[in-house]
Structure 1
Amino acid sequence: MNLEVKLKEVFGYEKFRAGQKQIIEQVLSNHDTLGILPTGAGKSICYQLPAVIQSGITLVISPLISLMKDQVDQLNITGIPATFINSTLNEQESKERMQQVLQGHIKILFVAPERFELETFNHFVKSLPLDLIAIDEAHCISQWGHDFRPSYLTFAHHLRSLPTQPTVLALTATATPQVTSDIQTLLSISANHTVKTGFLRENLHFEVVKGIEKRSFLKKYLHAQEALSAGIIYASTRKEVDEVYTWLNNQNFPAVRYHAGLSESERQHNQEQFLFDEIPLMVATNAFGMGINKPNVRFVIHYGMPATIESYYQEAGRAGRDGLEADAILLYSPNDLRIRNFLIEQGDGDEQHKEQAYEKLRQMQAYTHSETCLQRYILQYFGDEGENCGKCTNCLDDREQLDITVDAQKVLSCVIRMGERFGKTMVAQVLVGSKNKNLTKWNFEQLSTFGIMKQHSQKNVGELIDFLVAEGYLQVTPGKFPLLFVSTEGHQVLRGHLNVFRRAPFVTVAQNETGDNFNSKLFDHLRTLRLEVAKDEGVPPFMIFSDSSLKDMAEKSPQDETSFLSISGVGPIKLKKYGQEFIQVIQNFNNKK
């Protein structure tokens, strides 16, 4: 079978993205597979296409209850019969859907992992002609993952007892080497059948913005857009979400909000307004992080620092899922760290869990102070390598780097003279010659490094220490109160074998790109039609056509069915359902030129 032909026929795409075809071929050859693909790389195709080809049923395990309905709606529009069973249904509705599946009317069934805790459901699953079990967000099975869920371990024990011995496909976008190994062990997937395409998202522009008033930046950024595009603004707390949401609307930037303190009906209503392109801005806590499948999000702004690089990359990855240019911007202030430390302390985890949380938070903080390529920093965190992206804030900063080797040596020397037994605050106080009485009991005022940087403020010295940690010259011990010690590279600096360079913060706002023949007015007409069709069918607009499909239409201006079929995301099914309406709009637009 020609998989490319089937891909175009069902989904309207001419070719596979990186990793998709290899994963699908392994699945069709009955090899249990782990797929590690970045957010927006098309993981769902890896089980949807096999589901169409195989004769049996595909079961998808997903923690994203709020996303299941969207996935099912989109599959049904594509012509693939699908349904879901989760806690949003009553008992009678669940029974009716189970009957649909048993009668052979469904190809793909979505369920939450908690379903496997019900004996009746386990009996039901054993009676199905299962060909494939797809495990979405597979990192949740690992205790080393940023979103570990015990329910994932529960259902994993049931997989090998299924009579049809279905193939297992585990999918995730955020797996460190440790998490990858854990998934392979728990699901008995060999390294030879693990497909990792890399974590690179070439269409994302990463920015870290420091030393600014956050609301001023937001206002300037949103005003800079020609038309207010869809965007998500993540905040650390419910209170902060409410404050930003209220301020945006007072500034005439239409926004809705999403957090666990709102009623279920309000959250659902706000999410639908955002999905249906009725309101462009969503302000949310990370409760919204795993429940959104909106391809045309043009920017994700973190109003505060997230807790982990995994969660940051996953949330930032909500931007540009259609493959078009998008911004991922982190607004950082020192208070973000205090909030995150407080949230860890107030959490329910044991000491080991908290120690792990502090370590991940330090890695996130190091990201905000690094002056290397931001995309590359993230790739290296996930055990991946890559070239500098050439478009993040650090890569775009072409100003001359200053040699700060002498200042770095002062800091490193001070850490050693203090016995490598103290944290950032105490080291900074010694360097600026603070009169804090706590220093005298350690006789630190007698050190040669005491006051050696008194011309600087303690805040500036603290930021220098953060930079040296981010660049690997200093390292920190685990735990709530991390202690500084000098790394191998740091010792080379002290010996004069390495120089240290540093730049001042740099801010840029990346611009979205379109082709030379792109017609923005035609694009607006096509968006209007898409919204009308979506309202008639009761689904979000992106399920009709993505923004990238509309932009392709606005650039190529197809005037007949043959040329319309060449548009990305248009297959025979969508051509038959929507082709004439969209072609007519394009023809009318061109006739009025």
Structure 2
Amino acid sequence: MQIKKSLIDNLQTFFGFDNFKGDQEAIITSILNKEDTFVIMPTGGGKSICYQLPALMSEGTALVISPLIALMKNQVDQLRAFGGYDSIAHFLNSSLTKTETTRVKEDVTSGKTKLLYVAPESLIKQENIDFLQSITVSFVAVDEAHCISEWGHDFRPEYRKIRQVINNIRENIPVIALTATATPKVQNDIQKNLQMLNANVFKSSFNRSNLYYEVRPKADDILKDIIRYIKNNTGKSGIVYCLSRKKVEEVANALEINGIRSLPYHAGLDPKVRAETQDKFLMEEVDVIVATIAFGMGIDKPDVRYVIHHDVPKSMEGYYQETGRAGRDGGEGNCLAYYSEKDVDKLAKFMKDKPVAEREIGTQILKEVIDYSESAVCRRKQILHYFGENFNEAGCSDMCDNCRAQKQYFQAEEYLTRVLNMVKDFGEKFDDHHLMNVLMGIETAQVHSYKHQQTVYFGSGKQDGVMLWKSLIRQAVLNNFLSKDVDNFGLLKLTKSGKSYLTSPYSLRFILNREMKAAETEDTGNKQGGGALDTQLLQMLKDLRKKIAKQKNLPPFVIFQDPSLEEMCTHYPITMDELKHISGVGNGKAMKFGSAFLELINKYVEENEIDRPVDFVVKTTANKSALKVSIIQNIDRQISLEDIASAKGISFEDLLKEVESIVSSGTKLNIAYYIDEIIDEDRQDEVFDYFKSAEVDSIDMALDELGTDDYNREEIQLMRIKFLSELGN
């Protein structure tokens, strides 16, 4: 009772809290009793207090091993604020000068410092080991302990040397290891490596009930979607994660020029800039940080309201930890991820040159992300299952997009029995990919080597389709009929429940996966703006185009092409600036033909009380159009088109697309110097006369009319560019 009172008194004195959360009190008692302690607690659960409070209450200095300088700085600043004097906590890392390092060591030696934060790279330096041997180390806290495991999402080789260093400092130093993300496999790896298999283990639920999970298919206009999302959450703090530094810079720049206070954060920036960026975010001088995964580990900003993944996360651990930075105060937290097969292919390519074992691990980790993204099952159930926790989706309370969506079910009994029998008959030696190949009748080398094309299962699921079998196998694992052996390339094994089901099957329904289509990214929040095509307005715009074309004696497509008119009918531009941002319009066409169209749209919007999507215009940066500027300059200098394509590292076909885009947007380009070299004058006149009388600018229709014997596709495309440039711009 006395110890308990002392703990609560100290909690109140140091941190101002009256009560402990969850297992905090038991964890602190364990480390004060000098027992090895392993803590698995989700982000926002209060891990830091688990080692900070016992450090403040113990004799000597607690050594805290932490992977990031940003994380150390943040925690040291907080401790100094709580403790009332600067020497209570220090960090020792490469960012310090020689004088600063000396000061830190003096404070530690004198007994003023209760917590010393060290990066693993600094810890293994001999001079630091010598210093730590000379002081009283109360215990060692290994924060972000998942960095120890190759199966973890932030593997750091230096972390695997921590135990060796601890043994060199002194015998029997108690260790507390802490992580927010650890699968059973990673947990075991951490305990083995730190030689703490007998540790007291405290595992909290991974469920964060306040977080809303959503996955959207990634379309070409993802930036527009992100900007719209952020503007709908104006004044709230958010983080946007990207996989590459280049993408971080590009997205941050786009947000900034669209009026969103944002900054980039990645390892390529100067440490001083990174520290300033972090402080600005904490002080709410910026609303959004666009970052690689280098940002956010241990950053104590409780009111991050949304976390957006611009790219597919590399792992479920990474995804869970990054989304865990939202709503740490228990308030609103939205987690939006964009998924595309292209991103998955990119990540798979990154693994190509890695050693075989590492590649196999990486493939298994990535496969979990793909399954999560493509599945129609409760997102929360999938996340928790990944971390070894069973969850009834009814408890999700519609806090994920899959639970809110209309579901399509199928009777699973016969299909499940077939798959369970397959796993059993095949000796539990294959993964889901192999089972799918057999069911779909795909003759791979592996299928042949095991003669599975001769089994009754081969091709038996073809008529049911890939989607059903993907859904079936995923849910068989989620509902514990099958288990995935992550130690052994994801091989599927029958569980006790699976064996029992084969003996006594019963009726059950599974959810059929939904096909992810880019159209789903449309903002359905607006009744009309930014959603469905307004066919009434489209007809009015086409009539106006026809009228102007007749007046100017031009084919209608020279004024504006159909895709441009269609975009006007979803976005309703009413200013010249908005019109310029419609694809295929640009400055030239907007100035030449735009006024009449703007007048019509404005009148239509007023008369029909249209709720316009005011934030649809995504302004682009100047460097985005650098290629186009360079192409225009080279054409002005009459450089051969082949040479321009070669110099820019693009195909001739892609160059023509760029040139067409420039001309379609209203810029005049003179490519006659090039055309005159390859098409004689009479043939040029013939194509020109054709386009003058054509209703549409289709190359296929032009070839049908003019004959493929006399012209090829490239020649017609070049002439169409010349025609549009001379008559339309």
Normalised by the size of structure 2, how large is the TM-score?
0.59
CA separation of 1:477 and 1:150: change in aligned 2, threshold 3 A: closer
2-structure distance, mates of 1:484, 1:6: 50
Aligned to 1:368: 373
CA separation of 1:410 and 1:190: change in aligned 2, threshold 3 A: closer
2-structure distance, mates of 1:452, 1:270: 54
Aligned to 1:228: 235
Q: How many matched pairs? A: 497
CA separation of 1:501 and 1:210: change in aligned 2, threshold 3 A: farther
Q: How does 1:120-519 map to 2 (within 5 A)?
A: 120-163=127-170, 165-191=172-198, 193-210=200-217, 214-225=222-233, 227-290=234-297, 292-346=299-353, 348=354, 350-387=355-392, 388-393=395-400, 396-397=403-404, 399=406, 401-403=408-410, 463-472=467-476, 500-502=509-511, 505=514
Note if contact 1:424-1:484 (Cα within 8 Å) is conserved in structure 2. Answer: no
Note if contact 1:236-1:285 (Cα within 8 Å) is conserved in structure 2. Answer: yes
Secondary structure of 2:122 counterpart: helix
Write out per-residue CA displacement over residues 183-211 of structure 1, whole angstroms, 9 at most, x where no aligned residue.
Answer: 22333334461111222222222222236
Write out per-residue CA displacement over residues 479-498 of structure 1, whole angstroms, 9 at most, x where no aligned residue.
Answer: 9x9999999969989x9965
Note if contact 1:139-1:148 (Cα within 8 Å) is conserved in structure 2. Answer: yes
Counterpart of 1:180, as a letter, is Q
Secondary structure of 1:299 counterpart: strand
Q: How does 1:58-73 map to 2 (within 5 A)?
A: 58-73=62-77
State yes or no: 1:105 paired with 2:112. yes
2:57 to 53, 57, 65: 53
Write out per-residue CA displacement over residues 104-137 of structure 1, whole angstroms, 9 at most, x where no aligned residue.
Answer: 2211111112223222211111111221211111
Write out per-residue CA displacement over residues 524-553 of structure 1, whole angstroms, 9 at most, x where no aligned residue.
Answer: xxxxxxxxxxxxxxxxxxxxxxxxxxxxxx
Counterpart of 1:27, as a letter, is I
State yes or no: 1:118 paired with 2:122. no
CA separation of 1:490 and 1:40: change in aligned 2, threshold 3 A: same
More moved, 257-266 vs 151-160: 257-266
Secondary structure of 1:287 counterpart: coil
* CA displacement at 1:215 relative to structure 2: 3.1
2-structure distance, mates of 1:475, 1:37: 24
Write out per-residue CA displacement over residues 264-289 of structure 1, whole angstroms, 9 at most, x where no aligned residue.
Answer: 44434333322321111111111225
Note if contact 2:413-2:505 (Cα within 8 Å) is conserved in structure 1. Answer: no
Unpaired runs of 5+ residues, structure 2, are 526-729
Q: How does 1:17-28 map to 2 (within 5 A)?
A: 17-28=21-32
Counterpart of 1:40, as a letter, is G
1:11 to 15, 21, 26: 15
Secondary structure of 1:100 counterpart: helix
Counterpart of 1:362, as a letter, is K
Secondary structure of 1:472 counterpart: helix
* CA displacement at 1:356 relative to structure 2: 0.5
Note if contact 2:323-2:335 (Cα within 8 Å) is conserved in structure 1. Answer: yes
Secondary structure of 1:253 counterpart: coil
* CA displacement at 1:411 relative to structure 2: 11
Q: More relative contact order in 1 or in 2 (CA 8 Å, sep 6+)?
A: 1
* CA displacement at 1:165 relative to structure 2: 4.2
Q: Which has the larger radius of gyration?
A: 2
* CA displacement at 1:20 relative to structure 2: 0.7
2-structure distance, mates of 1:55, 1:450: 69
Note if contact 1:492-1:498 (Cα within 8 Å) is conserved in structure 2. Answer: no
Identity of aligned residues (%): 35
1-structure distance, mates of 2:11, 2:485: 50
Secondary structure of 2:102 counterpart: helix
Unpaired runs of 5+ residues, structure 1, are 512-593
CA separation of 1:255 and 1:483: change in aligned 2, threshold 3 A: same
2:100 to 93, 98, 108: 93
Note if contact 1:295-1:320 (Cα within 8 Å) is conserved in structure 2. Answer: yes
1-structure distance, mates of 2:492, 2:169: 52
Counterpart of 1:117, as a letter, is I
* CA displacement at 1:52 relative to structure 2: 1.9
More moved, 164-173 vs 78-87: 164-173
Note if contact 2:432-2:473 (Cα within 8 Å) is conserved in structure 1. Answer: no
Secondary structure of 1:109 counterpart: strand
Write out per-residue CA displacement over residues 53-92 of structure 1, whole angstroms, 9 at most, x where no aligned residue.
Answer: 2232111111121221111111101116111110101223
Note if contact 1:424-1:483 (Cα within 8 Å) is conserved in structure 2. Answer: no
Note if contact 1:370-1:471 (Cα within 8 Å) is conserved in structure 2. Answer: no
